[in-house]
Amino acid sequence: MKVNNEIYDCPVTATLEVIGGKWKPIILYVLMSGTKRFGALSVRIPTISRKVLTEQLRELESDGLLIRRQYKEIPPRVEYTLTPEGQSLWSVFNEMAIWGNNNRRVSQK
């Protein structure tokens, strides 16, 4: 997500630049529970198109938050795993979850 220009570069906006947007939080959240295949991500997030899922995963990869492993098999297999940097976002998500639970009405899954 294009959050802001360099004038306002600050750690908070830098973080939102990486985890903000419509799909990245849920993708990262799903991957927090461990390595997932492309298809598994697609099943867990059924309303995202494969095109957009691919794009978001590529961005998270180039931001160093996850690793893409492609196995040269038939049928193809591609796995996505959080890097330590990606996993370290847990504390951020946790703080957001606490605030959301305390201050928002959240319907449960």
Partner DNA sequence: CAGTATCCTCGGTGATACTG
Partner DNA sequence: CAGTATCACCGAGGATACTG
d(CA 71, CA 50): 19
Of 34-63, binders to a copy of itself (CB under 8 A) are 45-47
d(CA 34, CA 29): 10
Identify which of 87, 64, 84, 79 has the alpha carbon closest to the alpha carbon of residue 18. Answer: 64
- Which amino acid type is present at position 43? V
d(CA 50, CA 73): 20
Per rule CB under 7 A, is residue 56 in the interface with DNA?
Answer: yes
Per-residue contact flags (x/-) with a copy of itself for residues 87 to 106, judged by CB under 8 A: -xx-xxxxxxxxxxxxxx-x
In this chain, which of 54, 81, 83, 87 binds DNA, going by CB under 7 A? Answer: 54
77 - beta bridge partners?
Answer: 71
Q: H-helix or E-strand containing 28?
A: helix 24-32
Per-residue contact flags (x/-) with DNA for residues 79 to 108, judged by CB under 7 A: ------------------------------
Residues engaged in binding DNA (CB under 7 A): 1-2, 21-23, 37-40, 47-52, 54-57, 68, 70, 75-78
Residues engaged in binding a copy of itself (CB under 8 A): 1-18, 20-23, 25-26, 29, 45-47, 85, 88-89, 91-104, 106-109
